[in-house]
Structure 1
């Protein structure tokens, strides 16, 4: 009987021993483990100092743009009205639009140029109605669902155009002195171009 009890005791410990061995060895990789077996050589093992870091998107001059574009402040960035200790930026990050980079940036700049060109005749005539602006933007080929226009104060028209579903968005204002427009790439956790009213 002693032999049976000892064997049962060892069998009861077997799952515990296997679990401990699995937990200590799981994910452990040593330099040279795969060498000679078609795996990575010791020189190909990634060390913490060689770990990849996220790259910053690079922009290049777009057609018709000077080689060194000057960054323009976005009219979409909320300005904090409370001390920075209350996590304003963190809590309102969903309201900050994505910047466009690379080819999408060039697409946005081209769309801004088309929008300004379409609205400039209205501005010169002093036609600051939302309906006139909507018709001018629809003349560029945008559907009614892609264009929003609204009266912005007593003598101005605001507009928002969803250029494509990526999205590439153009937002701005047409007023007495000039037409302002900026392109951006939508908002975090939100589809479309309109600024979200809530986030997480």
Structure 2
């Protein structure tokens, strides 16, 4: 029986020795050092770099700069903006931005003859867009002399939205919405 007591006492010291080693630690590394080392070894994600697209003016006007500047980088200054941030479209960057600019110019150029004739029939706008090779999308009457449209480009992660009125034809490309609803503006909020 004496053997069992000695073995039991020896087994009891093993967990105690392990606890002492764990509590003491090794070297001079502290708890926060692992996190700091991790942060140093992996770069943090940032906004992709934009570059001058073909046909783009190297000196953008104030209106162009404001339209292409990502609004997500500016913190909301009021609760309305904060609560409706999910409705702000995701801006395009890099080559996607250039592709988006190309598509919007192509769409505006194709719709311009309709606008000049005063033809705001949604079916005619849809015909022009499908003739360009884009899916039928959503075309809707926007007032008595206006048409709105939304094109979902499946091959790329972006959307084209615009309006055509007596005064102008506008189109913008964007990368969907932050809540994942695709190209349709999200509903709800709080």
What TM-score range do you get, normalising by the shorter chain?
0.7 to 0.9
1:58 Cα deviation after fit: 1.7
Secondary structure of the corresponding residue to residue 176 of structure 2: coil
- Tell me the equivalent position of 2:53: 62
- Tell me the equivalent position of 1:33: none
- Tell me the equivalent position of 2:11: 11
Unaligned segments of structure 2, at least 5 residues: 30-35, 72-76
Which residue, 118, 126, 147 being the options, matches 2:110? 118
TM-superposition CA deviations, 1:82-115 (whole Å, max 9, x none):
x82x4x4444332221111110000000000011
| Structure 1 length-normalised TM | 0.70
| Structure 2 length-normalised TM | 0.73
- Tell me the equivalent position of 2:143: 153
Q: State the superposition RMSD in angstroms.
A: 3.5
1:4 Cα deviation after fit: 3.2
CA–CA distance in structure 2, aligned partners of residues 23 and 141 of structure 1: 68
Go from structure 1 to structure 2 and tell me whether the alpha carbon gap of 1:63 and 1:47 turns closer, same or farther (over 3 Å shift). Answer: same
CA–CA distance in structure 2, aligned partners of residues 29 and 104 of structure 1: 48
Corresponding residue pairs, total: 174
Q: Which has the higher helix share?
A: 2
Runs of 4+ residues over 6 Å off in structure 1: 47-51
